[in-house]
């Protein structure tokens, strides 16, 4: 996937959920990789395709470190396994406490091909070892 | 015209009882919410005529084919049942309803999703406040990258000085 505005050019691996039912993320050993939520639509298919990536690892910034800088009108391109490239236009960016994650807006269906990009946000809490928020980018297939 | 009129009346549940067997084909099924984290409960509702008997909601999806019998009369008319999604495989499920009289009660879909958000960060290198500052800035949707670059440059300057 390529996000020109923030300099992202990343490989994508498939993810699903962990044992607790939470969305899996790519292994921290490969913070430069984004994950595609395989149980959902593929990018370009009808519905919401979901990609997740780390904001950082223990070594520094990760693939979606600058996700919060995206703005409406920015472009996200995803190259599918079949070689087809799907371009998406950013509709908006939001920050949500994980306890109030917008499940319907992220995973909800519909006829349009949409894309959701997810990473962590907020101030890292070293006691819990996690961030309190998720940053979500909402985008729709262009053209 | 007369037949259409009868069907239309039946579709809105005017209560013509057993005379409305053909009308049951116009019954509708809804699922609320249409998206639920795995383990959540969805309510299946059909406008089937309760007087015709229990409705059967057939739930099919990625690894499931089960029948759920209606348990209650829905507040706005029709029949409903609750479905607990613990153990469901993630994905989209179809609910096809058969009314108590055997007629088609319509269909709807719902999607079972992961729970909550994503744990997509590790806090950066130990003691690297640059990442911590940037993380906070990200939540505000602000210039996180700029903040990080700024701090990193300062760190580098400190190292080289």
Sorted by where each begins, the domain ranges of chain A are 2-141
Kindly identify which residue of chain A lies nearest to residue B126, measuring between CA atoms: A58
**pLDDT of A62 strictly over 70:** yes
Pick among 3.40.50.2000, 2.40.260.10, 3.40.30.10, 1.20.20.10: CATH of A2-141:
2.40.260.10
In angstroms, the separation between the Cα of residue B67 and the nearest Cα of chain A is: 23
Distance between CA atoms of B78 and B13, rounded to whole angstroms? 8
- Average pLDDT of the residues in A62-73: 96
Pick B121's closest partner by Cβ from A68, A96, A120.
A120
Q: How many CB atoms lie within 10 A of CB A12?
A: 19
- DSSP label at B102? S
Strands A85-97 and A133-141: antiparallel
Give the percent of chain B with pLDDT over 70.
61
Residue B127: the pLDDT is 33
Give the mutation candidate from B64, B134, B138 for the A interface (greatest A CB count, under 10 A): B138
Residues A4-48: tens digit of each pLDDT: 999 999 999 999 988 888 999 999 899 999 999 999 999 999 999
Pick among 3.30.365.10, 3.30.70.890, 3.40.50.300, 2.60.40.1930: CATH of B2-113:
2.60.40.1930
Higher pLDDT, B66 or B144: B66
Phi, psi torsion values for B45, nearest 5 degrees: -135, 135
Nearest to B59 by CA among B113, B102, B97, B105: B97
Contact B118 A23 (CB under 8 A): yes
Residue ranges covered by each domain of chain B: 2-113, 129-160
Pick B122's closest partner by Cβ from A56, A99, A108.
A56
- Average pLDDT of the residues in B50-66: 94
B156 contact partners, CB below 8 Å, separation of at least 6:
none
Residues of chain B found within 8 Å of residue A124, distances taken between Cβ atoms: 121, 123-124, 131-132, 135
Q: Does B143 touch chain A (CB under 8 A)?
A: yes
Residue B67: the pLDDT is 97
Kindly identify which residue of chain A lies nearest to residue B140, measuring between CA atoms: A95
Give the mutation candidate from A13, A14, A23, A57 for the B interface (greatest B CB count, under 10 A): A23
Q: How much is the ipTM here? A: 0.81
What is the DSSP code string of A18-58? -TTSEEP---TT-TT-EEEETTSPPTTSSEEEEEE--SEET
Residues of chain A found within 8 Å of residue B135, distances taken between Cβ atoms: 55-56, 120-124, 131
Terminal Cα-to-Cα distance of chain B (whole angstroms) = 91
Contact A54 B62 (CB under 8 A): no
Phi, psi torsion values for A96, nearest 5 degrees: -135, 135
- The tokens of B105 are what? 């009660």
Residues A73-98: tens digit of each pLDDT: 999 999 999 999 999 999 999 999 99
């Amino acid at each position: 996937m390529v996000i020109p505005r923030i300099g992202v050019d990343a490989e994508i691996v498939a993810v699903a959920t962990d044992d607790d039912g939470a969305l899996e993320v790519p292994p921290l050993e490969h913070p430069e990789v984004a994950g595609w939520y395989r149980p959902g639509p593929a990018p370009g298919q009808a519905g919401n395709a979901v990609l997740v990536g780390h904001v950082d690892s223990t070594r520094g910034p990760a693939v979606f470190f600058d996700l919060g800088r995206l703005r409406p009108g920015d472009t996200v391109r995803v190259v599918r396994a079949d070689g087809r490239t799907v371009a998406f236009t950013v509709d908006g960016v939001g920050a949500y406490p994980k306890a109030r994650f917008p499940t319907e807006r992220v995973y909800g269906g519909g006829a349009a091909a949409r894309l959701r990009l997810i990473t962590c946000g907020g101030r890292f809490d070293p006691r819990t070892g996690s961030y309190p928020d998720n940053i979500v980018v909402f985008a729709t297939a262009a053209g | 015209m007369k037949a259409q009129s009868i069907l239309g009346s039946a579709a809105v549940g005017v209560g013509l009882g057993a005379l409305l067997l053909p009308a049951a084909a116009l019954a509708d099924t809804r699922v609320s919410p249409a998206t639920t984290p795995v383990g959540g409960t969805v309510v299946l509702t059909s406008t089937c005529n309760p007087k015709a008997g229990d409705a059967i909601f057939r739930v099919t999806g990625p690894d499931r084919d089960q029948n759920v019998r209606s348990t209650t009369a829905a507040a706005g008319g029709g029949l409903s049942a609750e479905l607990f999604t613990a153990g469901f495989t993630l994905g989209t499920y179809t609910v096809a309803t058969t009314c108590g009289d055997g007629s088609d009660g319509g269909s709807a879909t719902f999607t079972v999703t992961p729970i909550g958000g994503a744990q997509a960060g590790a806090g950066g290198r130990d003691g690297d406040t640059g990442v911590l500052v940037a993380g906070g800035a990200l939540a505000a949707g602000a210039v996180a990258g700029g903040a990080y670059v700024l701090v990193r440059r300062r760190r580098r300057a400190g190292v080289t000085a």
